[in-house]
Amino acid sequence: MPDIKYEVVKHIGVLSESANGWKKELNLVSWNDRPAKYDIRDWDENHEKMAKGITLSESEMENLVDLMKNN
């Protein structure tokens, strides 16, 4: 399996922190040199290891924010 290249372009914030020190974060991340997308996942403190997460386009993030505001 080829290596996945990623760059945390902008750290937006921490949603929570687990007992092992990993943090669930919202970031803008570029995957494999593609345009950055919103990304929610757990990271170790150095952003060297990550858990499975979800990546959202800008329009998907706008829809999510609208859904949260209206509920």
Q: Residue 55: which CATH number?
A: 2.30.31.70
Residue 27's domain comprises 6-69
Please give the average per-residue pLDDT across 27-48, as a whole number: 96
The answer as to whether 19 is a domain residue is yes
The answer as to whether 55 is a domain residue is yes
The answer as to whether 1 is a domain residue is no
> In sequence order, what E strands does 1-71 have?
6-17, 23-31, 37-43, 50-56
The answer as to whether 58 is a domain residue is yes
Specify the pTM: 0.89
Domain tally for the chain? 1
The whole-angstrom distance between residue 8's C-alpha and the CA centroid of its chain comes to 8
> pLDDT at position 1, please?
60
Is the predicted pLDDT of residue 55 greater than 70, yes or no? Answer: yes
The answer as to whether 26 is a domain residue is yes
The answer as to whether 27 is a domain residue is yes
The answer as to whether 33 is a domain residue is yes
